[in-house]
Amino acid sequence: MKNHYQLLIIGGGTAGIMTAAQALKRNSKLSVGLIEPSEKHYYQPAWTLVGAGTYDYNKTVREEKKFIPKGTDWIKDYAVGFKPKQNTVTTKSSGDISYDILVIAPGLIMDTSLIEGLTESLDKGVVCSNYTNPEHTWNVLKNFKGGNAVFTQPTTPIKCGGAPQKAAYLSADYIRKNGLSNKSNVVFATPGSVIFGVKPIAKTLLEVIKRYDIHFKPFYAPIKIDGDNRIITFKNIAPDSNSFASNEGSPLNEKVKENATIEMPFEMLHLAPPQTAPKFIKESELANEAGWLDVDHGTLQHNTFTNIFGLGDVAGLPTAKTGAAIRKQVPIVVENISRLLDSQVIGDNKYNGYSSCPLVTGYGKMVLAEFDYNSNFIPDPKLKLMLISNSDKESWRLWILKKYILPYLYWNKMLKGKEV
């Protein structure tokens, strides 16, 4: 291991590996260091399917060393701080490492402390999450015999914002297929105001909700979980919370308490834990006011330090945090790295906020939401030609894309720096 690299990358997940691979394809003589402590690499998009019993968890994990691009020094360590004025990253065990250009892509972390009782309850009993233990989710679903099956998400940004509702749809389909619908209530509760921010997709999802008779609860922000007594407390955050009507007497057995809070019992609770940037990002001078990496939304260059770039889940970008977003971000960053090294000036290409969310709506059904910063629906022409279907409608072909094609492309194309 050296103590200086032309290109230093923090994070060996999707963004970090892709950046290293594509940068070395452009210039095989580039000195590249990659800081990543984990020896395992996970394909997390499949965890939704693992949680529904239709994908093998073991197929979602591989050895990290198999994907470190040839020509990259793997620094198996933690980044813990920055000295950007000295072009230096501080590591936990390997000392300071300097760079010409730094790419920051460590992903995000789960912070269960942000919801009271979550740390004590998560992945125990009937409280589950595909984000942390999808195999436990499947066990909870298999053992569900009726009552309230509640699906929710926090007020923080999360990886793949559609994932909590995917779990709801798959579970609702499972419940229906197993003859439990007449004694079950499936609830999707979200702090948001709408089911999805892209109108054509929202229209389809509202039809899905109607088909499964899901209780859709907008403006519901989870604030407390009592795993032992199986009660979740929500805060109603609607702009006019005083107009909130009592739901007492409803089939959900909700109880409205003081300060616009609602208690809801459950026999199954699935949620996305609150998520934040890692501490060493949040507490650094590289973060914005919200604690995410402060980068330009188009160039992905840091807004203060021009030889630093950020992408992936840690970047402070107003779009969904998905692997599909990273696929579009990496070429922009790699081009800017190349130009900066050659001429000290970055290129004109800009990231438009593209992201996509494969919204599984049942076993054998999926909708593909593709959108930009302005929530415009922008389906990929190549994908549309391949699928011969409208991706804003439920389709079996899209299910095949999710379950078989995307994992193959991820392991064999994306992580190897090949165009997808």
Residue 250's pLDDT band (cuts 50, 70, 90):
confident
The DSSP bridge pattern shows strands 231-236 and 255-256 to be: unpaired
Please check the confidence at residue 384 and state whether its pLDDT lies above 70: no
Please state the separation of Cα 41 from the chain's center in Å: 15
User: Would the CA dihedral through 254, 257, 261, 266 be positive or negative?
Assistant: negative
Listed residue (47, 161, 115, 50) closest to 273, CA to CA: 115
pLDDT at 338: 94
Q: What is the mean pLDDT of residues 39-58?
A: 98
**DSSP SS3 for 81:** strand
pLDDT at 380: 79
Q: Are 60 and 42 in contact (CB under 8 A)?
A: yes
Q: In whole numbers, what is the pLDDT of the chain averaged over residues?
A: 95
Lowest mean pLDDT, pick from 49-58, 236-245, 328-337: 236-245
The DSSP bridge pattern shows strands 61-63 and 40-42 to be: antiparallel
Q: What is the mean pLDDT of residues 95-102?
A: 97
pLDDT at 325: 96
Bigger pLDDT: 367 vs 239:
367
Provide the Cα torsion 293, 295, 300, 305; round to 10°.
-100
pLDDT at 386: 67
Catalytic residue among 160, 268, 324, 367: 160
Neighbours of 263 (CB within 10 A): 16
Q: Which helix (H) or strand (E) holds 40?
A: strand 40-42
β partners of residue 232: 225, 264
Please check the confidence at residue 179 and state whether its pLDDT lies above 90: yes
Please check the confidence at residue 239 and state whether its pLDDT lies above 90: no
pLDDT at 223: 98
Residue 387's pLDDT band (cuts 50, 70, 90):
low
pLDDT digits (tens, 9 = 90+) for 154-177: 999 999 999 999 999 999 999 999
pLDDT at 330: 98
CA distance 191 to 405: 33
pLDDT at 296: 97
pLDDT at 246: 52
Q: What is the mean pLDDT of residues 189-210?
A: 96
DSSP strands (E only) in 173-227: 184-189, 215-217, 220-226
| Residue 128 known to be catalytic | no
pLDDT at 247: 56
Listed residue (372, 356, 380) closest to 298, CA to CA: 372
Rounded to a whole number of angstroms, the CA Rg of the chain reads 22
Listed residue (186, 188, 127, 165) closest to 359, CA to CA: 165
Per-residue CA distances from 252 to 34, 98, 143, 309, 385 (Å): 50, 57, 20, 47, 44
DSSP 403: I
Q: What is the mean pLDDT of residues 392-417?
A: 95
Q: Kindly list the structural domains of the chain, giving each domain's residue range(s) and its CATH number in brackets, ordered by start.
A: 4-108+277-350 (3.50.50.60), 120-274 (3.50.50.60)
pLDDT at 40: 98
pLDDT digits (tens, 9 = 90+) for 343-370: 888 888 999 999 999 999 999 999 999 9
Residues 6 or more apart from 233 whose CB is under 8 A from it? Answer: 222, 223, 224, 225, 226, 257, 261, 262, 263, 264
Please check the confidence at residue 389 and state whether its pLDDT lies above 80: no
Interior angle at CA 14, CA 165 and CA 395, nearest 5 = 40
Q: What is the mean pLDDT of residues 334-348?
A: 91
Catalytic residue among 23, 268, 357, 401: 357
pLDDT at 398: 93
Question: Token digits for 302?
Answer: 């840091």
